[in-house]
Amino acid sequence: MHRIAVIPGDGIGPEIISEGRKVLDAVSEHYGFEIEWDEFDLGAERYLAQGELLTEEDLIALSRCRAIYFGAIGDERVKPGILEKGILLALRFHFDQYINLRPVKLLQGVCTPLAEKTSEDIDFIVVRENTEDFYVGIGSRFQGKEKKELEVIRELYYIKFGLDVESDAEEIAYQIGVISREGASRVIRYAFDLACQRRKKLTSVDKANVLTDIYGLWREVFTEEARAYPDVETEFNFVDAITMWFVKNPEWFDVVVTPNMFGDIITDLGAMIQGGLGLAPGGNINPSGTSMFEPIHGSAPKYRGLGVANPVATIWAGSLLLDQLGEHTAAAAILAAIERSILSGITTRDMGGNSTTSEVGDAVARFVTLS
């Protein structure tokens, strides 16, 4: 039996999570294992009613589950960033979910904006470091010439670059990116291990030609870790170059490992070339702890309750969840069932169809029992 925490969240979150649960319940029954659901009321409604985001009691209860199934977060009544930082990012950091796993795979029957590319050309995985880089939250803004902090920043600019911040500057802002050797090493090793299970090719992304300190360390660690994997072909790509090659030659890639910020950017590009955000799942993974799985799209509040939201990314995230729990056959069955439902023409309007959210969930749940 697997105990899974579920956080439906905001907007279309409850609708798409409902379909994901429907499919997971169907596949668990078909393959002979049990799921015990533990639902958590986290999101805009509780925040607006009680002023609570994520409590210590919530974290203790969530830690009893090896997996969290997450819908979507964000509400037009709440200032952007409050829910996202206070719940989603807080969960990632608290449970040290240092792997963000994003499969970029074009399913049969799905259209890609890339001319002449097929499902044989687009099938790779991005492994994004999930807890460091520029997302550690170190930064500030300073106003007023009298601020001592502003003078310190001016001095640093002059020492480092020989540049003077304009003497009449009333406000400046800074953000610091942090990469540790340990943080880089563990995500890069994970990516190498994953490449060994696939086509044995690993691409590292950085911007070490400009941001030489932070990404110079990343490149150094990658080179050191590569020595333990002589059978894996390796290469370096600068982040601006890899966006070009994703579009021109996606078939070149197998596993891609990247620091946090660059991973955030290139995986949205990956989502588009695999058919759109409605088809893009993500996993926030701690290999030895509690992991969290979600669609990468937002809460889309304007579509809430209309039955038009595409649940495929959420259902696919459920496949990633089962794979992490060791239910590999069931995980593969879900992905195959998604593909069969698409080929059968059961798609929501964002994919050119007219099926409802629940009709797509029903179809995938039916197809998993036929595998």
Pairing of strands 281-285, 291-295: antiparallel
CA distances to 8, 86, 200 from 346, in Å: 24, 36, 35
DSSP-derived letter for residue 194 is: H
At 67, list the tokens: 């997996």
CA 160 to chain centre: 35
pLDDT score of 24? 98
In this prediction, residue 150 has a pLDDT band, given cuts at 50, 70 and 90, of low
Q: 106-143, pLDDT tens digit by residue? A: 999 999 999 999 999 999 999 999 999 887 777 777 66
Select which of 133, 264, 323, 362 is catalytic.
264
Using the predicted structure, report yes or no on whether residue 253 has a pLDDT greater than 90: yes
Q: 84-103, pLDDT tens digit by residue? A: 999 999 999 999 999 999 99
Q: 177-234, pLDDT tens digit by residue? A: 899 999 999 999 999 999 999 999 999 999 999 998 999 999 999 999 999 999 999 9
> Considering the domain boundaries, does residue 63 fall inside one?
yes
Which of 156, 175, 194 lies at the terminal end of a domain, its last residue? 175
pLDDT score of 134? 84
Alpha-carbon gap, residue 271 to 268, rounded angstroms = 5
Which of 131, 154, 175 lies at the terminal end of a domain, its last residue? 175
> Considering the domain boundaries, does residue 80 fall inside one?
yes
> Considering the domain boundaries, does residue 308 fall inside one?
yes
Share of the chain above pLDDT 90, in %: 85
pLDDT score of 121? 97
pTM of the complete model: 0.91
Select which of 47, 69, 98, 135 is catalytic.
135
Q: Are residues 69 and 12 in the same domain?
A: yes
Q: Are residues 64 and 148 in the same domain?
A: no
Q: Are residues 13 and 93 in the same domain?
A: yes
Using the predicted structure, report yes or no on whether residue 167 has a pLDDT greater than 60: no
Select which of 69, 123, 207, 229 is catalytic.
207
Sequence-separated (6 or more) residues with CB below 8 Å from residue 76: 301
Annotation marks residue 135 as catalytic: yes
CATH of the domain at 350: 3.40.718.10
Q: Are residues 59 and 149 in the same domain?
A: no
Annotation marks residue 240 as catalytic: yes
Annotation marks residue 264 as catalytic: yes
* Of 210-214, 272-276, 314-318, 347-351, the least confident: 210-214
Select which of 41, 174, 240, 248 is catalytic.
240
Q: Are residues 14 and 93 in the same domain?
A: yes
pLDDT score of 160? 61
Using the predicted structure, report yes or no on whether residue 144 has a pLDDT greater than 90: no
Mean pLDDT of 47-61: 95
pLDDT score of 173? 77
At 325, list the tokens: 């729990």
Mean pLDDT of 352-370: 96
Using the predicted structure, report yes or no on whether residue 148 has a pLDDT greater than 80: no
> Considering the domain boundaries, does residue 130 fall inside one?
no
Using the predicted structure, report yes or no on whether residue 169 has a pLDDT greater than 60: no
At 113, list the tokens: 């904006």
Number of folded domains that form the chain = 2
Select which of 25, 96, 193, 268 is catalytic.
268
pLDDT score of 140? 72
Annotation marks residue 254 as catalytic: no
With b meaning 16 or more CB within 10 Å and e meaning fewer, what string describes 265-283?
A: ebbebbbbbbbbbbbbbbb
Q: 330-358, pLDDT tens digit by residue? A: 999 999 999 999 999 999 999 999 999 99
Annotation marks residue 25 as catalytic: no
> Considering the domain boundaries, does residue 353 fall inside one?
yes
Q: Are residues 294 and 368 in the same domain?
A: yes
At 177, list the tokens: 């990116």
Pairing of strands 2-9, 133-143: unpaired
pLDDT score of 168? 53
> Considering the domain boundaries, does residue 128 fall inside one?
no
Q: Which H or E element spans position 37?
A: strand 35-39
> Considering the domain boundaries, does residue 30 fall inside one?
yes
> Considering the domain boundaries, does residue 216 fall inside one?
no
Q: Are residues 79 and 151 in the same domain?
A: no
Give the domain extent around 58: 1-97+290-371
Average pLDDT of the chain is 92
Find residue 233's DSSP bridge partners.
Answer: 201
Sequence-separated (6 or more) residues with CB below 8 Å from residue 136: 176, 177, 178
